[in-house]
Copies of this chain bind each other. A is one copy, B any other.
Amino acid sequence: MIVVLKDNPNQKQLDNLVQWLKSMNIDIHFSQGKNTTILGLIGDTSIVDIDLISALDIVESVKRITEPYKNANRKFHPQDTVVDVNGVKVGGGNFQIIAGPCSVESLDQICSVAESVKASGAGMLRGGAFKPRTSPYAFQGMRDKGIDLLLEAKKATGLPIVSEIMDLSQMPLFEEVDVIQVGARNMQNFELLKELGKTTKPILLKRGLSSTLQELLMSAEYIMAGGNGRVILCERGIRTFETTTRNTLDLSAVPLLKTMTHLPIVVDPSHATGLSKLVKPMAMAAVACGADGLLIEVHNDPIHALCDGQQSLTPEAFTDLVKSVQNILPFAFHGAH
């Protein structure tokens, strides 16, 4: 961390700052220019609050040199992390497609979709039991009953299941769920992240609508700091001025995150674009630039889907997508981190 001081800093305040930093075991390296004094802070600066230092009267500006995330940082963990979900692996060269309906609606529906996506090549089944809906009047999901149905579909197909948690009070319901998804709106629900850090469950952590890549990694860090290193990151589009697509899928995040972290990164083109006609091309693009997996919404009857139907694929369209993706997979980018 570099601290640039203002001209003629108050000596007493400077002494206070130095003493405070030393109390945190930070070494300080002074470098005195003609008008400017620069402090180089050396040591574990991840515990230093950059906002606090910026606030000081004597400070012109502060700049981090080392990243504030440690457990998620590739520098300290050069090998790719492989998350093993009951034998289904994600990351480190293992590519997986996680597919299923937006919402679980009935036993018939979820089992039928599960059989179908498994046959087409999906490695895991996704399905929403608890649904974060903008409107209190919209369908909120089948809730605990939905989890039960997912577990039935798991039993029927053998596919590990992925489902979204919306509050830590729901934790007991997720005991047999294989991967717990943290949605974009909960990416900075820090109390939830801390609790998930205490489990040993794989966590699928979605990027918030207006979250930077560093903030995404800091949220992963919350989980990892608690002892749970089984985190899968998910790029699912960010909010921008462009409204033709629901969000703007930020695919540069894929190869960039690969240089920043060792965690696997999957892409959700369904939610990102909100348009079923864009799901296949964006899935192909995601694979080409190195994604470790895809999250794809598939419904057996899009006309009657209870939510998010606009972005769902039919099983036939999904089968076609899987083929297109498999064609590209052997030629996909493998970063040089």
Contact = CB atoms under 8 A, between A and B. Distances in A.
Given A210-B241, A243-B243, A284 B190 contact: no
User: Mostly helix, strand, loop or mixed at chain A's interface?
Assistant: mixed
Interface stretch (A104-112, A115-123, A323-331): A323-331
A23 interface: no
A60 interface: yes
Nearest to A288: B288
Say how many copies of this protein the assembly contains. 4
A311 B51 CA distance: 9
Interface stretch (A154-162, A172-180, A250-258): A250-258
Given A212-B241, A289-B284, A38 B34 contact: no
A7 to B, nearest CB: 11
Contact of A288 (B55, B287, B312): B287
Nearest to A166: B191
Contacts of A214: 244
Contact of A31 (B29, B57, B133, B222): B29
Query: How big is the A interface, by class?
Result: 35 or more
Interface in A41-63: 42, 46-47, 49, 51-52, 54-57, 60-61, 63
A319 interface: no
A286 B248 CA distance: 15
A86 interface: no
B241 A255 contact: no
Given A135-B221, A249-B251, A212 B284 contact: no
A232 interface: no
A26 to B, nearest CB: 12
Nearest to A309: B55
Given A31-B38, A245-B252, A256-B278, 16 more contacts: A2-B4, A33-B40, A49-B138, A56-B309, A57-B303, A68-B135, A166-B190, A167-B167, A167-B168, A169-B169, A238-B241, A238-B248, A254-B281, A281-B335, A284-B288, A324-B331
